[in-house]
Amino acid sequence: MTAPAELSPTLQLACDLIRRPSVTPVDADCQTQMMNRLGAVGFQLEPMRIEDVDNFWASHGAQDGPVLCFAGHTDVVPTGPVQQWQHEPFEALIDADGMLCGRGAADMKGSLASMVVASERFVHDYPNHRGKVAFLITSDEEGPAHHGTKAVVERLKARNERLDWCIVGEPSSTTLLGDVVKNGRRGSLGAKLTVRGKQGHVAYPHLARNPIHLAAPALAELAAEHWDEGNAFFPPTSFQISNLNSGTGATNVVPGELTALFNFRFSTESTVEGLQQRVAAILDKHQLEWSIDWALSGLPFLTEPGDLLDAVSSSIKAVTGRETRPSTSGGTSDGRFIATMGTQVVELGPVNATIHQVDERILASDLDLLTEIYYQTLVRLLA
């Protein structure tokens, strides 16, 4: 373990945040710590507790001019079996290999620490910078995400707040810090499909209608359907069945109903309405008696090359010497809510190899590099 006195300001703050057991949606005063630091250098602070979720909005600078927002979450996923960890999950230590260990090191308390320290330095060096530096922080990203970033964005929209650029601190890097940034994400559209048949005795199939037999050809066609070609930034839209349930538990009963859960991860080449209509057409083609409940988790978003992506890429190159690769792979993030404001959004954070795993860890020295990347991005856009 490295002695606290030997740690950089970023690592000291990262360790402090990791030691707070903020399992979603609990914040454990992580946001209080961040707000104290930001308030001390002149940020205007606005805590927003919505239902059982802590959020805050903070800003520094003039009302006019562009706005660069840092966004992230203080909540972490549960630890899993504590006895399987090499070290206590919330101990926050740096091991002999120079790895910062602890739940949230990568996802995403390390990024939060880098954002705060970079912003402290920037407003000190450029007190009269143009535009605004802002923070949008939630404790409801790893959970349902109803009362976190989504709800804060709705409030910001209602009062006509402007967000030109946003850096989300999600762990985007794959092998080395900055090798990948996310410049978009696919949309996520889920559904619960119910196909109705008629329950009966297996020995008298003519008196029953088996929903499993009826639905199977339609499900096979949905799975084989080519939904779109994707584009230069997105792979083709995918369809996956995640659950299939039917039966009464007895071996001699034809069930009366089948339910299937499925999900689309879709590109900007498809729309919600278009996917729903095509699913309905296939189900009707097979003459099924069906109903469906749709659940849209997020629309796809894309930040094409421009001011933000250029500034981030140039900063990564200057600090690490690496050329970064934009990517839209992976699941959803809170960037999907922020993008609805017409904001250019990128995700940039540590290596994601151990996120949500036992023994989550990142290279400690990467956080100081990440702080410098954030700082140089601020300079390029707002100095």
| Active site residue ranges | 75, 141
Asked whether residue 146 is marked as a ligand-binding residue, the answer is: no
Asked whether residue 286 is marked as a ligand-binding residue, the answer is: no
301 phi-psi bin (left φ>0, alpha ψ -120 to 50, beta other): beta
Asked whether residue 304 is marked as a ligand-binding residue, the answer is: no
Asked whether residue 142 is marked as a ligand-binding residue, the answer is: yes
- Joined together, the tokens standing for residue 240 give 């996956």
Is the separation of the CB atoms in 5 and 15 below 8 Å?
no
Asked whether residue 201 is marked as a ligand-binding residue, the answer is: no
Q: How many CB atoms lie within 10 A of CB 18?
A: 26
Which positions make up the binding site for Zn(2+)? 73, 107, 142, 170, 356
Which positions make up the binding site? 73, 107, 142, 170, 356
